[in-house]
Copies of this chain bind each other. A is one copy, B any other.
Amino acid sequence: MRFFSDNAAPVHPKVLQAIADANVVDTAYDGDQWSQKLDAAFSELFEREVAVLWVSTGTAANCLGLASMVQPHQGIVCHREAHIEVDECGAPGFYTGGAKLMHLEGEGAKITPEAVEELLGTIRPDVHQVQAAAVSITNATEYGLVYRPNEVAALGELCKSRKLGLHMDGARFANAMATLGCKPADVTWRAGVDVLSFGFAKNGGMNAEALVYFDPEMADAARYRRKRAGHLLSKGRFLAAQLLAFLEDELWLENGRAANAAASIIAGAAQGRLLHPVEANEIFIRLTAAEAAQLRAQGFDFYDWGEGAARLVTSWQHEDVHVRPLADAIAAL
Protein backbone atom coordinates (compact mmCIF):
# COMPACT_ATOMS: atom_id res chain seq x y z
CA MET A 1 0.00 0.00 0.00
CA ARG A 2 1.42 3.33 -1.05
CA PHE A 3 1.55 6.29 1.28
CA PHE A 4 4.08 8.27 -0.71
CA SER A 5 1.93 11.13 -1.74
CA ASP A 6 -1.61 12.16 -2.57
CA ASN A 7 -0.16 12.89 -6.00
CA ALA A 8 0.14 9.18 -6.64
CA ALA A 9 -3.55 8.51 -6.06
CA PRO A 10 -5.87 7.88 -8.96
CA VAL A 11 -8.42 10.30 -10.33
CA HIS A 12 -11.81 10.16 -8.67
CA PRO A 13 -14.37 8.32 -10.84
CA LYS A 14 -16.72 11.29 -10.93
CA VAL A 15 -13.91 13.48 -12.17
CA LEU A 16 -12.94 10.96 -14.82
CA GLN A 17 -16.56 10.81 -15.88
CA ALA A 18 -16.69 14.57 -16.14
CA ILE A 19 -13.67 14.45 -18.41
CA ALA A 20 -15.32 11.85 -20.60
CA ASP A 21 -18.50 13.91 -20.71
CA ALA A 22 -16.54 16.93 -21.90
CA ASN A 23 -15.29 15.05 -24.92
CA VAL A 24 -17.34 16.94 -27.44
CA VAL A 25 -16.55 19.61 -29.96
CA ASP A 26 -16.41 23.00 -28.29
CA THR A 27 -14.55 26.28 -28.46
CA ALA A 28 -10.81 26.09 -27.85
CA TYR A 29 -8.80 27.52 -24.95
CA ASP A 30 -11.16 28.87 -22.31
CA GLY A 31 -14.05 29.80 -24.54
CA ASP A 32 -15.91 26.55 -23.93
CA GLN A 33 -19.07 26.13 -21.89
CA TRP A 34 -17.30 24.61 -18.87
CA SER A 35 -14.61 27.26 -18.60
CA GLN A 36 -17.23 29.95 -18.95
CA LYS A 37 -19.04 28.67 -15.86
CA LEU A 38 -16.07 28.73 -13.55
CA ASP A 39 -16.21 32.31 -12.33
CA ALA A 40 -19.84 31.92 -11.30
CA ALA A 41 -19.33 28.55 -9.64
CA PHE A 42 -16.38 29.69 -7.58
CA SER A 43 -18.01 33.02 -6.81
CA GLU A 44 -20.86 31.11 -5.24
CA LEU A 45 -18.51 28.94 -3.24
CA PHE A 46 -16.59 31.96 -1.98
CA GLU A 47 -19.65 34.18 -1.43
CA ARG A 48 -18.23 37.01 -3.51
CA GLU A 49 -17.25 37.77 -7.05
CA VAL A 50 -14.00 36.06 -7.92
CA ALA A 51 -12.07 35.41 -11.12
CA VAL A 52 -10.73 31.91 -11.66
CA LEU A 53 -8.05 30.63 -14.01
CA TRP A 54 -7.50 26.92 -14.48
CA VAL A 55 -3.93 25.72 -14.76
CA SER A 56 -2.34 22.30 -14.84
CA THR A 57 -0.10 22.39 -11.80
CA GLY A 58 0.16 23.87 -8.36
CA THR A 59 3.51 25.35 -9.30
CA ALA A 60 1.93 27.27 -12.16
CA ALA A 61 -0.92 28.41 -9.93
CA ASN A 62 1.40 29.57 -7.17
CA CYS A 63 3.78 31.39 -9.45
CA LEU A 64 1.22 33.08 -11.66
CA GLY A 65 -0.45 34.23 -8.47
CA LEU A 66 2.77 35.55 -7.00
CA ALA A 67 3.70 37.28 -10.25
CA SER A 68 0.46 39.22 -9.91
CA MET A 69 1.65 40.67 -6.64
CA VAL A 70 5.37 41.36 -6.90
CA GLN A 71 7.70 43.15 -9.26
CA PRO A 72 11.05 41.57 -10.21
CA HIS A 73 12.92 43.73 -7.74
CA GLN A 74 10.74 42.79 -4.81
CA GLY A 75 10.50 39.91 -2.37
CA ILE A 76 8.10 37.24 -1.15
CA VAL A 77 8.10 36.21 2.49
CA CYS A 78 7.54 32.51 3.07
CA HIS A 79 8.53 29.66 5.33
CA ARG A 80 11.94 28.12 4.75
CA GLU A 81 10.28 24.86 3.90
CA ALA A 82 7.50 26.28 1.78
CA HIS A 83 6.83 24.35 -1.40
CA ILE A 84 7.59 27.46 -3.47
CA GLU A 85 11.01 27.60 -1.82
CA VAL A 86 12.10 23.96 -1.81
CA ASP A 87 10.08 22.08 -4.38
CA GLU A 88 9.49 24.23 -7.43
CA CYS A 89 12.98 24.49 -8.89
CA GLY A 90 12.99 28.25 -8.64
CA ALA A 91 9.69 28.69 -10.46
CA PRO A 92 8.77 31.82 -8.47
CA GLY A 93 11.97 33.43 -9.72
CA PHE A 94 11.10 32.49 -13.28
CA TYR A 95 7.55 33.75 -13.18
CA THR A 96 8.25 36.98 -11.32
CA GLY A 97 11.38 37.85 -13.26
CA GLY A 98 13.71 37.24 -10.37
CA ALA A 99 11.89 38.21 -7.18
CA LYS A 100 13.54 36.99 -4.02
CA LEU A 101 12.09 34.48 -1.59
CA MET A 102 12.66 35.54 2.00
CA HIS A 103 12.61 32.71 4.49
CA LEU A 104 11.18 32.37 7.93
CA GLU A 105 11.37 29.60 10.45
CA GLY A 106 8.21 28.42 12.15
CA GLU A 107 6.90 25.25 13.76
CA GLY A 108 5.37 22.85 11.28
CA ALA A 109 6.00 25.23 8.38
CA LYS A 110 3.59 27.79 9.81
CA ILE A 111 4.55 31.42 9.99
CA THR A 112 3.36 34.05 12.41
CA PRO A 113 2.86 37.79 12.13
CA GLU A 114 5.57 38.24 14.73
CA ALA A 115 8.09 36.34 12.62
CA VAL A 116 7.12 38.28 9.52
CA GLU A 117 7.47 41.56 11.39
CA GLU A 118 10.87 40.53 12.65
CA LEU A 119 12.06 39.66 9.16
CA LEU A 120 10.72 42.92 7.76
CA GLY A 121 12.59 44.71 10.51
CA THR A 122 15.89 43.36 9.20
CA ILE A 123 15.39 44.88 5.78
CA ARG A 124 16.93 48.31 5.37
CA PRO A 125 14.44 50.51 3.57
CA ASP A 126 16.88 51.55 0.87
CA VAL A 127 17.42 50.54 -2.74
CA HIS A 128 20.33 48.24 -1.91
CA GLN A 129 18.03 45.68 -0.38
CA VAL A 130 15.09 43.84 -1.84
CA GLN A 131 11.86 45.03 -0.25
CA ALA A 132 9.11 42.54 0.51
CA ALA A 133 5.89 42.90 -1.46
CA ALA A 134 4.00 39.74 -0.57
CA VAL A 135 3.60 36.96 1.96
CA SER A 136 2.86 33.40 0.92
CA ILE A 137 1.46 30.79 3.29
CA THR A 138 0.49 27.17 2.68
CA ASN A 139 -2.78 25.83 4.07
CA ALA A 140 -2.61 23.02 5.04
CA THR A 141 1.14 23.43 5.49
CA GLU A 142 3.87 21.21 4.15
CA TYR A 143 3.78 19.48 7.56
CA GLY A 144 0.07 19.01 7.62
CA LEU A 145 -0.83 21.83 10.01
CA VAL A 146 -3.84 24.01 9.43
CA TYR A 147 -4.05 27.79 9.71
CA ARG A 148 -7.20 28.90 11.51
CA PRO A 149 -9.17 31.87 10.18
CA ASN A 150 -7.94 34.07 13.02
CA GLU A 151 -4.34 33.11 12.30
CA VAL A 152 -4.72 34.00 8.67
CA ALA A 153 -6.54 37.18 9.59
CA ALA A 154 -3.67 38.26 11.80
CA LEU A 155 -1.31 37.82 8.87
CA GLY A 156 -3.82 39.52 6.61
CA GLU A 157 -3.94 42.58 8.81
CA LEU A 158 -0.19 42.79 8.92
CA CYS A 159 -0.05 42.52 5.14
CA LYS A 160 -2.64 45.21 4.74
CA SER A 161 -0.84 47.59 7.06
CA ARG A 162 2.47 46.92 5.33
CA LYS A 163 0.99 46.97 1.82
CA LEU A 164 1.96 43.39 1.14
CA GLY A 165 -0.07 40.98 -0.94
CA LEU A 166 -1.16 37.74 0.72
CA HIS A 167 -1.06 34.50 -1.23
CA MET A 168 -2.29 31.14 -0.03
CA ASP A 169 -0.88 27.96 -1.51
CA GLY A 170 -3.87 25.69 -1.13
CA ALA A 171 -2.43 22.53 -2.68
CA ARG A 172 -4.22 20.83 0.22
CA PHE A 173 -6.88 23.47 0.77
CA ALA A 174 -9.55 20.78 0.81
CA ASN A 175 -7.80 19.00 3.64
CA ALA A 176 -7.54 22.24 5.58
CA MET A 177 -11.20 23.03 5.01
CA ALA A 178 -12.25 19.55 6.09
CA THR A 179 -10.55 20.22 9.40
CA LEU A 180 -11.70 23.79 9.82
CA GLY A 181 -15.35 23.28 9.08
CA CYS A 182 -15.74 26.98 8.37
CA LYS A 183 -16.69 28.68 5.13
CA PRO A 184 -13.99 28.87 2.45
CA ALA A 185 -14.39 32.64 2.58
CA ASP A 186 -13.52 32.75 6.27
CA VAL A 187 -10.00 31.51 5.86
CA THR A 188 -9.33 33.31 2.58
CA TRP A 189 -10.57 36.73 1.49
CA ARG A 190 -12.33 37.53 4.74
CA ALA A 191 -8.98 36.97 6.40
CA GLY A 192 -7.11 39.11 3.88
CA VAL A 193 -5.99 36.58 1.28
CA ASP A 194 -5.68 38.15 -2.19
CA VAL A 195 -4.96 35.10 -4.27
CA LEU A 196 -5.53 31.41 -3.60
CA SER A 197 -4.01 28.44 -5.38
CA PHE A 198 -6.87 26.03 -4.89
CA GLY A 199 -5.53 22.53 -5.43
CA PHE A 200 -7.40 19.60 -6.90
CA ALA A 201 -4.65 17.37 -8.29
CA LYS A 202 -3.76 16.02 -4.84
CA ASN A 203 -7.42 15.59 -4.04
CA GLY A 204 -8.57 13.29 -6.82
CA GLY A 205 -8.16 15.51 -9.85
CA MET A 206 -6.17 14.70 -12.93
CA ASN A 207 -4.39 17.90 -13.90
CA ALA A 208 -6.50 20.86 -12.85
CA GLU A 209 -5.89 23.54 -10.24
CA ALA A 210 -7.85 26.72 -9.73
CA LEU A 211 -6.07 30.04 -9.37
CA VAL A 212 -8.61 32.19 -7.54
CA TYR A 213 -8.38 35.99 -7.58
CA PHE A 214 -10.53 37.64 -4.95
CA ASP A 215 -10.03 40.90 -6.80
CA PRO A 216 -11.15 39.96 -10.30
CA GLU A 217 -9.23 42.84 -11.88
CA MET A 218 -5.95 41.30 -10.78
CA ALA A 219 -6.73 38.37 -13.05
CA ASP A 220 -6.60 40.42 -16.24
CA ALA A 221 -2.83 40.47 -16.56
CA ALA A 222 -2.64 36.91 -15.26
CA ARG A 223 -4.55 35.69 -18.29
CA TYR A 224 -1.77 36.99 -20.51
CA ARG A 225 0.87 35.58 -18.24
CA ARG A 226 -0.84 32.18 -18.31
CA LYS A 227 -0.77 32.13 -22.08
CA ARG A 228 2.81 33.34 -22.14
CA ALA A 229 3.80 30.54 -19.79
CA GLY A 230 2.28 27.94 -22.09
CA HIS A 231 -0.48 27.17 -19.61
CA LEU A 232 -3.46 28.08 -21.73
CA LEU A 233 -4.39 24.59 -22.89
CA SER A 234 -6.17 24.42 -26.20
CA LYS A 235 -8.69 21.97 -24.82
CA GLY A 236 -9.22 23.74 -21.55
CA ARG A 237 -12.68 22.27 -21.28
CA PHE A 238 -11.13 19.14 -19.80
CA LEU A 239 -9.67 21.14 -16.94
CA ALA A 240 -12.77 23.21 -16.34
CA ALA A 241 -14.91 20.08 -16.32
CA GLN A 242 -12.79 18.62 -13.55
CA LEU A 243 -13.17 21.72 -11.41
CA LEU A 244 -16.91 21.83 -11.89
CA ALA A 245 -17.16 18.14 -11.00
CA PHE A 246 -15.36 18.89 -7.77
CA LEU A 247 -17.69 21.71 -6.84
CA GLU A 248 -20.77 19.59 -7.54
CA ASP A 249 -22.16 18.26 -4.26
CA GLU A 250 -18.95 19.33 -2.54
CA LEU A 251 -16.94 16.42 -3.86
CA TRP A 252 -13.78 18.36 -3.12
CA LEU A 253 -14.68 18.59 0.54
CA GLU A 254 -15.81 15.00 0.74
CA ASN A 255 -12.48 13.86 -0.66
CA GLY A 256 -10.60 16.06 1.74
CA ARG A 257 -12.54 14.59 4.63
CA ALA A 258 -11.84 11.05 3.51
CA ALA A 259 -8.10 11.66 3.34
CA ASN A 260 -8.09 13.37 6.73
CA ALA A 261 -10.08 10.58 8.32
CA ALA A 262 -7.59 8.04 7.03
CA ALA A 263 -4.72 10.08 8.39
CA SER A 264 -6.44 10.36 11.71
CA ILE A 265 -6.61 6.59 12.07
CA ILE A 266 -2.89 6.26 11.46
CA ALA A 267 -2.15 9.15 13.78
CA GLY A 268 -4.16 7.50 16.51
CA ALA A 269 -1.94 4.46 16.33
CA ALA A 270 1.24 6.51 16.24
CA GLN A 271 0.57 8.91 19.11
CA GLY A 272 3.97 8.59 20.74
CA ARG A 273 5.76 8.99 17.46
CA LEU A 274 4.18 12.09 16.01
CA LEU A 275 6.57 14.87 15.01
CA HIS A 276 3.73 17.26 14.27
CA PRO A 277 0.07 17.35 15.21
CA VAL A 278 -1.93 15.66 12.46
CA GLU A 279 -4.45 18.22 11.27
CA ALA A 280 -4.84 17.19 7.65
CA ASN A 281 -3.69 14.21 5.61
CA GLU A 282 0.03 14.08 6.33
CA ILE A 283 1.61 12.18 9.20
CA PHE A 284 5.21 12.71 10.21
CA ILE A 285 6.52 10.13 12.65
CA ARG A 286 9.69 9.09 14.35
CA LEU A 287 10.72 5.80 12.85
CA THR A 288 14.05 4.03 13.06
CA ALA A 289 15.56 2.50 9.97
CA ALA A 290 14.80 -0.93 11.35
CA GLU A 291 11.18 -0.04 11.99
CA ALA A 292 10.86 1.45 8.53
CA ALA A 293 12.23 -1.73 7.03
CA GLN A 294 9.76 -3.74 9.06
CA LEU A 295 6.81 -1.72 7.74
CA ARG A 296 8.05 -1.93 4.18
CA ALA A 297 8.45 -5.68 4.53
CA GLN A 298 4.73 -5.74 5.26
CA GLY A 299 4.04 -3.90 2.00
CA PHE A 300 3.69 -0.30 3.19
CA ASP A 301 5.49 2.29 1.11
CA PHE A 302 6.33 5.82 2.21
CA TYR A 303 9.14 8.37 2.17
CA ASP A 304 11.89 8.59 4.72
CA TRP A 305 12.00 12.11 6.12
CA GLY A 306 15.61 12.55 7.02
CA GLU A 307 17.13 10.16 9.51
CA GLY A 308 14.86 8.42 11.99
CA ALA A 309 11.67 9.87 10.58
CA ALA A 310 9.10 9.15 7.89
CA ARG A 311 6.28 10.87 6.08
CA LEU A 312 2.99 9.13 5.38
CA VAL A 313 0.35 10.75 3.22
CA THR A 314 -3.20 9.57 2.82
CA SER A 315 -5.52 10.39 -0.03
CA TRP A 316 -9.20 10.54 -0.95
CA GLN A 317 -9.27 6.84 -1.85
CA HIS A 318 -8.01 5.57 1.49
CA GLU A 319 -10.81 4.04 3.46
CA ASP A 320 -10.73 2.58 6.89
CA VAL A 321 -9.99 -0.83 5.46
CA HIS A 322 -6.90 0.49 3.68
CA VAL A 323 -5.25 2.26 6.54
CA ARG A 324 -6.20 0.07 9.45
CA PRO A 325 -3.50 -2.51 8.60
CA LEU A 326 -0.89 0.25 8.58
CA ALA A 327 -2.17 1.65 11.85
CA ASP A 328 -2.00 -1.80 13.39
CA ALA A 329 1.47 -2.39 12.04
CA ILE A 330 2.70 0.88 13.51
CA ALA A 331 1.08 0.14 16.86
CA ALA A 332 2.75 -3.23 16.85
CA LEU A 333 6.27 -1.89 16.28
Contacts of A16 in B (CB 8 A): 19-20, 23
Contact pick for A25, options B10, B87, B93, B224, CB 8 Å: B10
Which of A146-154, A227-235, A284-292 sits within the interface?
Answer: A227-235
Instruction: Judge whether A299 is part of the interface by a CB distance below 8 angstroms.
Output: no
Residues A14-28 near B (CB distance < 8 A):
16, 19-20, 23-28
- Cβ–Cβ contact A89 & B60, under 8 A: no
Known A-B contacts A8-B25, A23-B16, A127-B224; the reply to A231 vs B232 at CB < 8 A is no
Contacts of A56 in B (CB 8 A): 56, 207, 230-231, 233
The minimal Cβ–Cβ distance linking A85 to chain B, given in whole angstroms, is 9
- Cβ–Cβ contact A127 & B7, under 8 A: no
Bound-state Cα–Cα, A72 to B131, Å: 20
Bound-state Cα–Cα, A221 to B74, Å: 10
Q: Which residue of B lies closest to A12 (CB)?
A: B23
- Cβ–Cβ contact B23 & A10, under 8 A: yes
Q: Of A61, A95, A224, A225, which is in contact with the most chain B CB atoms at under 10 Å from its CB?
A: A224
Contact pick for A230, options B2, B4, B57, B93, CB 8 Å: B57
Contact pick for A229, options B91, B129, B131, B233, CB 8 Å: B91
- Cβ–Cβ contact A90 & B100, under 8 A: yes
Scoring A residues 133 to 159 as 1 if CB is less than 8 Å from chain B, else 0, what string do you get? Answer: 000000000000000000000000000
Scoring A residues 112 to 146 as 1 if CB is less than 8 Å from chain B, else 0, what string do you get? Answer: 00000000000000011111000000000000000
Contacts of A221 in B (CB 8 A): 71, 73
Instruction: Judge whether A305 is part of the interface by a CB distance below 8 angstroms.
Output: no
Contacts of A207 in B (CB 8 A): 56, 207, 233, 235, 238-239
Known A-B contacts A90-B98, A99-B93, A207-B56; the reply to A230 vs B63 at CB < 8 A is yes
- Cβ–Cβ contact A90 & B73, under 8 A: yes
User: What are 29 A-B interface contacts by the 8 Å CB criterion?
Assistant: A8-B28, A10-B25, A16-B23, A19-B206, A55-B230, A56-B56, A60-B230, A72-B90, A72-B93, A72-B225, A73-B89, A73-B90, A73-B94, A73-B224, A73-B227, A74-B224, A86-B129, A89-B127, A89-B227, A93-B93, A93-B99, A94-B97, A97-B97, A127-B224, A127-B227, A127-B232, A128-B232, A201-B235, A229-B230
Nearest 3 CB-CB pairs, A to B? A60-B230, A93-B98, A7-B28
Chain A positions near chain B (C-beta within 8 angstroms): 2, 4-5, 7-11, 16, 19-20, 23-29, 55-61, 63, 71-75, 86-91, 93-95, 97-100, 127-131, 201-202, 206-207, 221, 223-235, 238-239
